[in-house]
Structure 1
Amino acid sequence: MRDRTLRGRVAIVGIGETTYYRHGQSPHAEFKLALQAILAACADAGIGPHEIDGFASYSNDRNDASRLAAALGVKRLRSTTMQWGGGGGGNCAAVANGAAAIAGGLADCVVAFRALAQGQFGRFGQAPASPTISGDMAWQAPYGVLSPGQKFAMKARRFMHEHGVRQEALRAIAMASYAHAQRNPRAVMHGKPLTESKYDDSRWIVEPFHLFDCCMENDGAAAVIMVPAERAKDFKGLPVYVLGAATGSDHRVAAPAHNAPNYASSSFSTVAPDLFRMAGIGPSDVGSVQSYENFTGGVLMALAEHGFFAPGEANDFLRLENLLAPDGRLPLNTSGGNLAECYMHGFELVLEAVRQVRGTSTAQAPRHDVSLVIGGPMVTPVSNLLVGSEATL
């Protein structure tokens, strides 16, 4: 079984991103944004883009790997993977798929990335305009459940009802992201702090989600460069190692809409144990968490399903002081996350996890040898990732 693991076998040696824009405001086409982020990651690693031989992405990224390879001068394209599923459930899976290609000998230098230009191709957060629908939307749309917020609010409300979770827990999650964004000049919401009264007075989008419980929509791109661990120290950037990764969903999570056996769930009840098993560590070893926020309710459930607290302890654990770097019990979304840094389908969270382990975050957690990334709670499939320093191997 030793060979059936990613632990310590692959290193992230470069990270790169573009400027993050409000949706529709990028001056560049999506393909150009992808190239900019990849080139920035190459510069961070100290390599030329022609050294890349693999690409990995998710959520039906429109930037074709062969076209990227041609534009970057790649000499030999060896691996191209795309994770199934919409939304941000594949952000960690893209890293895992690229790492698996390296560990399996299919590639030697893989870039995982995500690019978005919603002004060019349309918004993700809108209800679909197509006259024909299939899948779970065919069950939901006739009853007016058209948007992700409506669909996921019911899961979150059910969890909150079953475990007595108060609105203040969701507020703490939102305020932690905004507080960390004030220390991050890259964040779209930098300079726009969130207070309790501002949160409480904001309009309902769909209960229990206020305006500030919902992610932004943005344009931009982000990328990471991965290589075999034995080559990790040949590059300019401080290497950060993949400790574990997992992807999937719970039993019958895609059963007819709102009829899954484990309904009030973020979809991590079976995925999280796989992650910690591969990494050989537990929740107590994690120094910071970068959790995808489509909505704060998903973060609430995902943290519980990753074992940071029992569901009935959510009100006590999810207090703002516990979620802030550097003094909180579990610093959360230390760059601002999807709520306040940007919405890059959650890939910016992977970059922040790398920064935490490197010790270069704008909101550094004191325990930063291990950082956890959680992708796409409440969608399917979901994915997660643990990255760590050389000392953790």
Structure 2
Amino acid sequence: MTLPRGRGAAVVGTGWSDVARHSASPLGAHVVQACRRAVEDCGLTMADIDGVATYPNPSRPVGTTVDGIDVAGVNYVAATLGLTNLGWACSVTQGTVIGALVEAVNAVLAGAARHVLVWRGMLNPPGRFGRVARETAEGDDQFTRPYGLGHNVPVFALPYARYLWKYGRSRTDMAEFVSRNRERVVDDPESVFHGRSLPVDEYLRARMIATPLSLYDCDMPVTGCGAVVVSATDRARDLRHRPAHVAGRVSLGLPAHRSVVMQYEHLAESGRRLGALLWADAGLGPADVDQANLYDGFSFYVPFWAEWLGFCKEGEGLDHLADGARDRAPVNTNGGALGRGRLHGTPQLIEAVRQLQGRAFHQVDGARVTVAQAGDPLHGAAAVVLTNEV
């Protein structure tokens, strides 16, 4: 395999905040903590940061939002961290942290910034998550909410149910992956599920939220933040850790289909398109990848993305997770969101970087190429291919 030449941008630092199921601290405190740790991790100072990017949308409806309390946008972070040398800032309107990362990479390549701080903070205030209390259904909601689609889980259950029926699979086929995924964080003190395993039989007995999605098929809402620093390649090589060079990146943008009900075939068509664009931009293919980090806001997205990115044939994603992914390109070796909580793509991105730097908690020997993908194809999915060589 011949690695492509570096494209001029690299991820050089990573940082987690403290992560909790619920937290008495405002979201801004977690975001600032993660950002400081990411900047310190690569040996820079706040005076070096001249660009910022985030996807600031609240993780659930919270009424009136206050910057620094319910969300933590570019204005709050810049003011709180004293970023006085900013020349570029971006707030992505849809997507995940990887969508913000793509914009940061574009800014570095265009010469608009040299060191860009990127983060995604998630809030889980006290109370039940996602309770729907509306008395009326307006707009597109009038066609869905009265019929049981008043929350994300039943909405996302539909394409999963279609997939299981189409390929003759069942929840039993998912059980081993979810259980093994949790085992990866049992001994990891950074994970909110530290010390809490999930045996296969417990997964299969779990309370159903919207068939076929159970409690353990959904990432757990948490309060926390992950952050990274993107730098120009000529500056990255002099920093503290080995750079994770950006070989390819894509942000899917608008979906190819518009439907009030999520359909599996629509997801698959857009997902395949993202995969084709990603590998074309990177000059690499799935066979070159040593370790993969795939979105898992719901468990089924992991086999879906394994198929759409070309790691296996369509309909064979669950078999890939059970067999091939263990040896050829291990998936979500830090537990992903299912193991770390709902952190919206930051587990995927940070793990991809740390694997290339040789600093992962469960390190893959000889990892030279990783992929980090986050989001679903109809809501701003994005992905990057990273390498540790230029």
Q: Which residue of 2 aligns with 1:68?
A: 77
Query: Which of 230, 235, 256 is matched with 1:231 structurally?
Result: 235
* Aligned match for 1:150, one of 151, 154, 164: 154
Letter in 1 for 2:265: N
- SS of the aligned residue for 1:256 comes to coil
CA distance in 1, matches of 2:56, 2:13: 22
Contact residue 20 and residue 220 of structure 1 kept, 8 A: yes
Residues in 2 aligned to 1:79 and 1:6: alpha-carbon distance in whole angstroms: 26
Segments of structure 1 that go 5 or more residues without pairing to the other structure are none
Higher mean C-alpha deviation, range 127-136 or range 175-184: 127-136
Give unmatched runs, 5+ long, in structure 2: 59-70
> For residues 6 and 155 of structure 1, do their structure 2 counterparts lie closer, same or farther at Cα, with a shift above 3 Å needed?
farther
CA gap 1:298/1:266 in 2 versus in 1, 3 angstroms:
farther
Partner of 2:110: 104
* Counterpart residue type for residue 91 of structure 1: V
Amino acid at match of 1:366: D
Matched residue of 2:316: which SS?
A: helix
Quote the Cα distance in structure 2 between the aligned partners of 1:10 and 1:109: 10
Is 1:355 the equivalent of 2:364?
no
Q: Structure 2 matches for 1:244-255, cutoff 5 A?
A: 244-248=248-252, 252-253=256-257, 255=258
Return the offset for 1:131: 5.0
1:11 alignment partner, SS class: strand
Of 47, 50, 53, the match for 1:53: 50
Aligned equivalent of 1:36: 33
Contact 1:21 1:219 in 2 (8 A): yes
Letter in 2 for 1:41: A
Please, what TM-score do these two structures have when normalized by structure 2? 0.89
Deviation at 1:379, TM superposition (A): 4.3
Question: Counterparts in 2 of 1:194-273, with a 5 A limit?
Answer: 194-248=198-252, 252-253=256-257, 255-258=258-261, 262-263=265-266, 265=268, 267-273=270-276
Q: Secondary structure at the match of 2:385?
A: strand
Residue 17 of structure 2 is aligned to residue 18 of structure 1: yes
Task: Report the CA distance between 1:111 and its aligned residue.
Answer: 0.6
1:307 and 2:310 correspond: yes
Question: What secondary structure sits across from 1:230 in the alignment?
Answer: helix
Task: Write out aligned runs for 1:270-349 (5 A).
Answer: 270-319=273-322, 322-324=324-326, 328-349=327-348
Is the Cα contact below 8 Å between 2:171 and 2:204 reproduced in 1?
Answer: no
Contact 1:66 1:77 survives alignment (8 Å): no
Query: Conserved in 2, the CA contact under 8 Å of 1:51 and 1:75?
Result: no
What amino acid does structure 1 have at the position aligned with 2:166? E
Q: Measured at CA, do residues 126 and 38 of structure 1 come closer, stay the same or move farther in structure 2, by a change above 3 Å?
A: same
Indicate if the aligned counterparts of 2:292 and 2:332 stay in contact, CA closer than 8 A.
yes
Question: Within 2, Cα distance between the matches of 1:367 and 1:206?
Answer: 41
Once residues 127 and 264 of structure 1 are traced to their aligned partners in structure 2, the CA distance between those partners, rounded to angstroms, is 26
Distance in 1, matches of 2:109 and 2:282, equals: 15
- How many residues of Structure 1 are paired with residues of Structure 2 in the alignment? 375
Output the CA distance in 2 between the equivalents of 1:261 and 1:17: 33
**Relative to 1, partners in 2 of residues 1:377 and 1:172: Cα closer, same or farther, differing over 3 Å?**
farther
Alignment-derived partner of residue 92 in structure 2: 83
Aligned AA for 1:297?
F
Partner of 2:369: 370
* Structure 1 residue matching 2:271: 3-state secondary structure: coil
1:93 to 87, 95, 99: 99
Q: Which stretch shows the higher mean deviation, 172-181 or 259-268?
A: 259-268
Question: Alpha-carbon deviation of 1:162?
Answer: 1.6
Q: Distance in 2 between matches of 1:372 and 1:41?
A: 20
Q: Residue 377 of structure 1: SS of its match in structure 2?
A: coil
How far does residue 262 in structure 1 lie from its aligned partner after superposition?
Answer: 2.9
Q: Quick one: which amino acid aligns to residue 108 of structure 1?
A: R
Partner SS for 1:107: coil
- Asked if 1 retains the 8 angstrom alpha-carbon contact of 2:14 and 2:350, the reply is yes
Cα distance in structure 2, aligned partners of 1:288 and 1:27: 36
Q: What is the distance in 2 between the residues matched to 1:134 and 1:108?
A: 45
Deviates more, 1:260-269 or 1:209-218: 260-269
1:168-207 matches, cutoff 5 A? 168-207=172-211
Q: Distance in 2 between matches of 1:292 and 1:134?
A: 31
Q: Secondary structure at the residue paired with 1:182?
A: coil
Give the AA of the match of 1:360. R
* AA partner of residue 55 (structure 2): Y
* Aligned-residue offset at 1:251: 5.5
Q: CA deviation at 1:48?
A: 1.1
1:58-113 Cα deviation digits (max 9, x unpaired): 1526323233222222222211112222xxx3221111111111111111111110
- Go from structure 1 to structure 2 and tell me whether the alpha carbon gap of 1:243 and 1:132 turns closer, same or farther (over 3 Å shift): farther
Conserved 8 A contact 2:252-2:377: no
Q: 1:6, 1:103 within 8 Å by CA — same for their partners in 2?
A: no
AA matched with 1:263: H
Q: Distance in 2 between matches of 1:220 and 1:181?
A: 16
Structure-1 residue corresponding to 2:64: none
Deviation string for 1:266-306 (max 9, x for gaps)? 84121111111111100011111112211111222111101
Q: Contact (CA 8 Å) 2:159, 2:263: kept in 1 or not?
A: no
- In the aligned structure 1, how far is the partner of 2:222 from the partner of 2:47? 29
- RMSD across aligned positions (CA): 2.4
Q: Which runs of 4+ in 1 moved over 4 A?
A: 130-136, 321-324
Task: Answer yes or no: is 1:117 the counterpart of 2:136.
Answer: no
Q: TM-score, normalised by structure 1?
A: 0.88
